[in-house]
Structure 1
Amino acid sequence: MFNNSISIPVAEDYPDDFSGKTRSRPRRKRRKSEFRGRSEFTNPICKLLTKWWPVLVLIVAVLLLIFEASKLGWRSSTSKPEFRTDDKKPKVEVSSVKNPEGNLNRLDPPRCLKLLPPEQLQNIDFPLNKDIVDPIKKVIYMSDSTANLDPNSLNEMGAARFNLFTGYQTFDQREQSFKVNETASVHCGFYSENGGFTISNEDKSYMRTCNSVVSTCAFGGGDDLYQPIGMSNTSLHKVCYVAFWDEITLATQEKQGRIINNDRFIGKWRIVIVKNLPFKDQRLNGKIPKMLAHRLFPNARYSIWVDSKSQFRRDPLGVFEALLWRSKSVFAISEHGARSSVYDEAKAVVKKNKATPEEVEVQITQYHHDGFPEDKRFDGKKALNEASVIVREHTPVTNLFMCIWFNEVVRFTSRDQLSFPYVLWRLKVLKNIHTFPVCTRKDLVNSMGHVRKAKPLG
């Protein structure tokens, strides 16, 4: 009987070329051979790593430490701390300027302000004759001691802040104030004897002696008083330094150790205490000494206004010579550092909550209606200005300009940057104006920033 079954080998070995002989699988031999080749190469490295691994770990650790130290050093040199910390809790810096005391009493040489040499400043004097012809001969300031005022004026657009101090300027009177003749009549504060901003007779007598003045103010317990620096002995004898305070600021400064002496001075500043401030908004009260210096100092020929957040640091007679007399100007003010257009400034005022959108819209709508252009430059000069420092001669045209500017601030918003270019555009007779760059303004003052918020009245 034949056996037809086929036998399939299952062992590891199998016939090679049908010869009947067997051998191991070639693949296993190749893998074993390759493994032995890699071992011959890697075994010496493994032995080295096993022997020297502590040294390698130490080197890596040192490199990591050096890298982290360099990162910390870079961060400390580029970051600015926003808080001061103690054992209890973080405290936010009061001032809006980082380390304002670092600017105090800095008297580095001016970069852009071209002052006369010191020996000439000692001998400088006010010019006797002027080459500038003023188109306005006389300004009459409206007043009413009986305060017989039409209450219907209160219903006019934007007139809610007019009061016995300002008088109730009608819209028609506003328009007439821009139409200039040799004689001009205008509202200019101090409308009624019951209007407020009360100053003692002694202080009024002192202010009448000033032929030129550097002035500042702080109402509502706002900024500290910074002593002026950099003046010559001649200026100390010829220029008054007057700071206007209210009773809140007086109490605040006394707590800081700034006590008025018997002559009513603190350092070089003559302190004038004002009572019965006419506005609840302290920003508006601050516009009175800022814009109406010709009303407060009736015999002064020149004035310099300095915001309370700044320290004046130059010789005032030298400033008059550099910014007014040399350029044959009657008014000097700084360009705005950030923007050029009034309409762009209006958007920024609303965005920064410096005024309500409603009151800004009323003002800008009126300026649009009057045809005020959106140009960023007028007569080759930047259209927008920054009024923390104002240098001027008290002439009829500059006095009229300041009165109209003040009335615009009362009628619309207290942000005087919005109204300054408009008034300059409408009152075309003010030609001799010197607009100086931001770097000159920085030469004039040390910027300290606002130290504390002024308290509103009422």
Structure 2
Amino acid sequence: MASSMYNNGISIAVSDDESDELAGRIRARVRRKRKKHGVRGKTEFTRRVIQLLLRWWPVLLCLLAVGLLLFEASRIGGNSSPQVRNSDHLPRKKSVDTVVEGKPPGNLNRLDPVTRARGGVRERCLDLLPPEELEKLDFPIGDAHTKPVKSIVYKSDADEHSAEGNLTLQQFSDSTRFNLFTGSQSFEQREESFKVSETAVVNCGFYSEAGGFKISDEDKQYMQSCKSVVSTCAFGGGDNLYQPIGMSESSLKKVCYVAFWDNITLATQQAEGRTVGDDNYIGKWRIILVKDLPFSDQRLNGKIPKMLPHRLFPNARYSIWVDSKSQFRRDPLGVFEALLWRSNSVLAISEHGARSSVYDEAKAVVKKNKATPEEVAVQMIQYHKDGLPEDKRFNGKKALSEASIIVREHNPSTNLFMCLWFNEVVRFTSRDQLSFPYVLWRFKVLKNINMFPVCTRKDLVNSIGHVRKAKPLTN
């Protein structure tokens, strides 16, 4: 017999067999209790984890999203020229001689379309024809846009220099802006040039063979052969040359691509490994080397190919101007069809994205140090005296343009419009946004203008930005 203490010290008499049996039961019970305790521990841990997840799941989700964005950004950064195709299913063209040192700009060579929401539906900003129709496009037969101006006589007589003294105090006093290239347009001649007649007489550059902007005879012959042109320029070495992309094979045979350079740009590009071939080409661009630029202001020199393509390409019917800080990425014939022919327009230019009033733009130009307060004041005082209203729309069009892309038909009316605009830029400031509304307001006969929205401009080009500061004229 043996005795065992159990349950608060109560003594129970048991036999040896019963003692062994009882001890076994106790050990089994202890094992069962320990097992249940272990399960409870795991259950408690799981419960706490679930509570924490339920409490902090928004934070965890945000951290996961940030991680995915960082991963995607690093992936894109490692492949800055992704293989993409736009909604027109045009193949991505390989760039030729774009950036030699370092990585190319992230948006270079992109062909993806730009879209916008309209009526709850996303649509493409530039509605181009399908690729198979682009290949069949050709220029319209005939020219219906000749009225009210039928012809232009460009002034070139040397006696005009004596008229410089006729400028009033309300005119920009830097007489060097009027030279042998432009002709010295007097204030009275400026007023006469805005009067519309079948035969217009106007100063419009190329005043004299001694007036600067010299190009070779070989280049002149090439330019005379162009029936349509996409042009750009880089004077002072400020920008690189970006190859056009997105064009059809048909457009390549019908459209000239011309880039105007000076000696500074040529030397800058050669120093970075971009050389002009023996055929005067770099990729798709025909390089036209200009000597004896007429203005000390390089921005003003850049206005010559920008505003006077009808003087540089006398036989061209259509032209597209693209600022050198951008890469043109659409089919030229398709752009003519979408922005001119479809809407029966003769001039297409992008609206200003930030402002609508020329007077507001004048304040912004001064604030950003893009022109001196004095020269801007002279221009705005003259425009106010002439009666230019503060209206934000003229003839149903937004008054202020951005002007980095200009698509136009070359006819007497648009040619005269561009000459008037160029003369305002020469007379006042080189900020052409300030003079465009004035010319649009005064030259009321040119009404079929397509002022396309900013998103269309973004679809036309990949914006790169200026690479370096342009060097001043040294020749």
Please say whether Structure 1 and Structure 2 have the same fold, judged by a TM-score greater than 0.5: yes
Cα deviations by residue, 1:254-312 (Å, 9 ceiling, x for unpaired): 11111111110000000000001111110000000000000000000100000000000
Q: 1:360 aligns with which of 372, 376, 390?
A: 376
Letter in 1 for 2:466: H
1:266 aligns with 2:274: no
> What is the match of residue 293 of structure 1?
309
Contact 2:350 2:457 in 1 (8 A): yes
Contact 1:136 1:182 in 2 (8 A): yes
Pairwise CA distance, 1:378 = 2.2
Q: How does 1:65-144 map to 2 (within 5 A)?
A: 101-110=105-114, 111-144=124-157
SS in 2 for 1:304: strand
> What is the match of residue 215 of structure 2?
199
Letter in 1 for 2:195: K
Q: 1:242 aligns with which of 246, 258, 262?
A: 258
Alignment partners' CA distance in 2, 1:433 and 1:155: 32
Alignment partners' CA distance in 1, 2:367 and 2:471: 22
Q: 2:363 aligns with which of 317, 327, 347?
A: 347
Cα deviations by residue, 1:352-393 (Å, 9 ceiling, x for unpaired): 000000000000001110111101122333211110000000
Letter in 1 for 2:107: N
Contact 2:245 2:329 in 1 (8 A): yes
Alignment partners' CA distance in 2, 1:118 and 1:340: 36
Pairwise CA distance, 1:129 = 3.1
Q: In the superposition, relative to structure 1, how do residues 261 and 411 fare at CA in structure 2: closer, same or farther (>3 Å)? A: same
> What is the match of residue 256 of structure 1?
272
Q: 1:228 aligns with which of 235, 240, 244?
A: 244
Deviates more, 1:305-314 or 1:141-150: 141-150
> What is the match of residue 16 of structure 1?
none
> What is the match of residue 413 of structure 2?
397
Q: In the superposition, relative to structure 1, how do residues 133 and 144 fare at CA in structure 2: closer, same or farther (>3 Å)? A: closer
Alignment partners' CA distance in 1, 2:250 and 2:66: 50
SS in 1 for 2:105: helix
TM-score in terms of structure 1 length? 0.78
Cα deviations by residue, 1:308-328 (Å, 9 ceiling, x for unpaired): 000000000000011001100
> What is the match of residue 346 of structure 2?
330
SS in 1 for 2:257: strand
Q: In the superposition, relative to structure 1, how do residues 75 and 380 fare at CA in structure 2: closer, same or farther (>3 Å)? A: farther
Q: 1:158 aligns with which of 160, 172, 175?
A: 172
TM-score in terms of structure 2 length? 0.75
Alignment partners' CA distance in 2, 1:380 and 1:152: 38
**RMSD (CA atoms):** 2.8
Pairwise CA distance, 1:132 = 3.6
Alignment partners' CA distance in 1, 2:273 and 2:159: 42
Alignment partners' CA distance in 1, 2:303 and 2:350: 17
Alignment partners' CA distance in 2, 1:384 and 1:151: 30
1:379 aligns with 2:395: yes
Alignment partners' CA distance in 1, 2:146 and 2:206: 28
Contact 1:132 1:328 in 2 (8 A): no
Alignment partners' CA distance in 2, 1:121 and 1:434: 21
Deviates more, 1:372-381 or 1:207-216: 372-381
Letter in 1 for 2:127: K
Contact 2:160 2:184 in 1 (8 A): no
Letter in 2 for 1:299: N
Contact 1:334 1:436 in 2 (8 A): yes
SS in 2 for 1:102: coil
Pairwise CA distance, 1:166 = 0.8
Q: In the superposition, relative to structure 1, how do residues 130 and 190 fare at CA in structure 2: closer, same or farther (>3 Å)? A: closer
SS in 1 for 2:152: strand
Alignment partners' CA distance in 1, 2:459 and 2:127: 10
Contact 2:394 2:440 in 1 (8 A): no
SS in 2 for 1:101: coil
> What is the match of residue 422 of structure 2?
406
Alignment partners' CA distance in 2, 1:171 and 1:438: 35
> What is the match of residue 280 of structure 1?
296
Alignment partners' CA distance in 2, 1:202 and 1:398: 28
Give the length in aligned residue pairs.
380
Q: 2:321 aligns with which of 284, 288, 305?
A: 305
Alignment partners' CA distance in 2, 1:223 and 1:195: 26
> What is the match of residue 333 of structure 2?
317
Alignment partners' CA distance in 1, 2:267 and 2:160: 32
Letter in 1 for 2:340: L
Alignment partners' CA distance in 2, 1:304 and 1:128: 19
Alignment partners' CA distance in 1, 2:436 and 2:460: 21
Alignment partners' CA distance in 2, 1:348 and 1:335: 16
Contact 2:167 2:187 in 1 (8 A): no
Alignment partners' CA distance in 2, 1:148 and 1:379: 36
Letter in 2 for 1:445: V
Pairwise CA distance, 1:434 = 0.7
Pairwise CA distance, 1:75 = 11
Structure 1: give runs of 5+ residues left out of the alignment: 1-58, 60-66, 81-98
> What is the match of residue 193 of structure 2?
177
Q: Percent identity?
A: 74
Alignment partners' CA distance in 2, 1:147 and 1:174: 13
Contact 1:223 1:451 in 2 (8 A): yes
> What is the match of residue 118 of structure 2?
none
Deviates more, 1:141-150 or 1:167-176: 141-150
> What is the match of residue 38 of structure 2?
none
Q: Highest CA radius of gyration, 1 or 2? A: 1
